[in-house]
Amino acid sequence: MKLRDKVVIITGGSGGIGMCTCEQLASEGAKIVIADINIEAAVALEDRLNQLGYEAKSIGLNVNEFDETQKLFRFTIDAYGRVDVLVNIAGGSAGVFLNTAHSIFSDSTQERWQEIFNVNLFGTMNCIRSVINHMINRQTGKIINFASIAGIIGMQKAAEYSAAKSGIVGLTKAIAKEVGPHGINVNCISPGVIGTERIHNMPKKMVEDWRAGIPLGRIGQPGEIAKMVAFLASDDANYITGANIPVDGGLTLNPNF
């Protein structure tokens, strides 16, 4: 129980990776605040975790709105009195909560760029900004951001997503330098192709092409990302900060991806 009694906010907590992360950290003893734009799914996960004997609460959250991230912070303080760990999973490039779609850069629109930057880079910034002074005052805390291998190697038909995720990597490193003297660790995870529902619903040929380019020869599982989050949230990672850790089966080693 490496996270016993740690208070952890997880944004995007009801999605594929988010749900596994909530389950993993709860099993390690953490008190979980599930924050998600899909409040029905967040409440369902809260109920399930509590029925299993864990401690969890849920709240609706649109990370695009700074006022909502402030409400999330106050909700957590009212419930548990502090924030030990912030996990910024909310984001993405497709789904029912995004109005725009992938395209090649020459066909891209300002609307698409703004939407992707809002939900990824600016959303991450809003959540960090809501807790950072609290962590500075306590002289402790861990922040775990989510980028993507797209932010490392670039992804065709996703220039805006690649740029936003690369921005999260830079944001992680800059904030890590600022708050390191206050005992706060700030790190980033860059998942590769992970077997969430969204991936399973993609064309089989596309997913198979991705799998063929992964040195380990398989698609990753959400639980493998969750275990990395649990490690970075624990005291075992106290001397790691400013890192961007690919969890991708070696996909970033493939020059043709």
The mean pLDDT value for 173-197 works out to: 95
DSSP classification of residue 86: E
Phi, psi values for residue 54, rounded to 5°: -90, 175
**Residues 47-78: tens digit of each pLDDT:** 999 999 999 999 999 999 999 999 999 999 99
Instruction: Delimit the domains of the chain by residue range.
Output: 7-253
Catalytic residue ranges? 161
**Residues 7-29: tens digit of each pLDDT:** 999 999 998 999 999 999 999 99
Determine the 3-state secondary structure of 252 from DSSP: helix
Identify the architecture of domain 7-253 in CATH.
Answer: 3-Layer(aba) Sandwich (3.40)
pLDDT of 88 > 70? The answer is yes
Residue 68 is encoded by which pair of tokens?
């909502």
**Residues 129-148: tens digit of each pLDDT:** 999 999 999 999 999 999 99
92-105: buried (b, 16+ CB within 10 Å) or exposed (e) per residue? Answer: bbeeeeeebebeee
Rounded to whole angstroms, how far apart are CA atoms 251 and 192? 7
Question: Do 143 and 86 meet the contact criterion of CB atoms below 8 Å apart?
Answer: yes
**Residues 200-223: tens digit of each pLDDT:** 776 777 778 888 889 999 999 999
Chain position carrying tokens 């809501």: 130
Nearest alpha-carbon partner for 108 in 168, 169, 156, 166: 156
Residue 180 is encoded by which pair of tokens?
């390191």
